[in-house]
Chain A
């Protein structure tokens, strides 16, 4: 009986871990337009990985740590942009605090999904655009991205840029 109580307590403690992250340091996400995204990539002069995510999307949770790690590794060669779609500001900030931490990813909001549509994406999330330094879309990955695919696509972008 004691063992069962201890197990229940353990499960509750584990379940409570990692939730309600502090969002006070996370700024509100600015609404962005397709032109603004394209201009920012061209001005940066380097390829970009634009990941489309939402806090209500389970698969986005699975790939977020990978994107955070990749953004740190390619900090100097590739720009990482998080495009939050159809989400509430508070939930989006909670997601960033919990899964992206201090990753080198610039998050913006695309509440109606128009930027995603303009770039050739669909309404499904997650979705990742691999964009050349001239802001043309090199490739679109639909669904959860794995480490191998992410590393390969980023390598393709960097080599195509001559990096």
Chain B
């Protein structure tokens, strides 16, 4: 069963690396695509580890007495701690040039999220709440049509990645691409959350926090740009 998750992870990695190479070919990410790929992969692994650890502690499983349970990813991964750990890993790996690296991995991170969500197809885990819409999908043996909610999310992330890659060709203020990616990542999840099957309700506050942090960072980036490059002076009187 875990192999389908690995397949989805491979799709995420492939989408991320493809985005990095595409950006490099278009002159967006210079010549550091391989390093960026390593940073993204490391961040994903650290995020997964911390998220799984947090989920174990949260559900009452002691990681010290049951250390092998950390490998049972299907047992749950806490999204908030996982995202935080992944971002801190990027920050640590890119210390000294954090803003540049965050911008460089922004498109690839969105593409990787899209790839992960698209991985619902091999995992047979695309279905959400019931609907009569013509593109609804059903479980084998069931007549209940359901939203392919993971494919919606994949669409949002992949379209956003493509749009951000196009926009990045213009000179964006440093940090704006990363802030946009963070905002879209959280907003995409927040928008699709009501359609996802869950017990009680998902960790919506984490997504709202992500949106707020993204918008705040974008505002900071734009303000920083306007300070460092003041408007051109008018004609001499």
Contact = CB atoms under 8 A, between A and B. Distances in A.
A101 to B, nearest CB: 9
A148 B72 CA distance: 15
Nearest to A63: B75
B197 interface: yes
Interface stretch (B55-63, B95-103, B110-118, B174-182): B55-63
A152 B148 CA distance: 12
Contacts of A144: 1, 72, 74-75
Contact of A148 (B66, B139, B198): B198
Contact of B125 (A18, A58, A139, A148): A148
A20 B26 CA distance: 60
B69 A58 contact: yes
Contacts, number: 88
A146 interface: yes
A20 to B, nearest CB: 11
A44 interface: no
A151 B66 contact: no
Contacts of A118: none
Interface residues of B, number: 29
Given A18-B60, A144-B75, A58 B68 contact: yes
Interface residues of A, number: 36
A127 B127 CA distance: 21
Interface in A101-128: none
Contact of A19 (B2, B65, B130, B144): B65
Nearest to A148: B197
A17 B62 CA distance: 7
Contacts of A149: 125
Nearest to A18: B62
B141 A146 contact: no
A98 B61 CA distance: 9
B190 to A, nearest CB: 17
B231 interface: no
A11 B62 CA distance: 11
Interface in A1-40: 11, 14-15, 17-19
Contacts of A152: 127, 139, 146, 197
Interface centre among A59, A98, A160, by most chain B C-beta atoms within 10 angstroms, is A59
B227 interface: no
Given A58-B68, A58-B72, A143-B1, A151 B197 contact: yes
A147 B61 contact: no
Interface of A: 11, 14-15, 17-19, 58-59, 61-66, 69-70, 73, 98-99, 138-139, 142-152, 155-156, 159-160
20 contacts: A58-B66, A58-B69, A58-B72, A59-B75, A61-B66, A62-B69, A62-B72, A62-B74, A63-B75, A138-B141, A144-B75, A145-B74, A146-B75, A147-B197, A148-B125, A148-B197, A148-B198, A151-B197, A151-B198, A160-B142
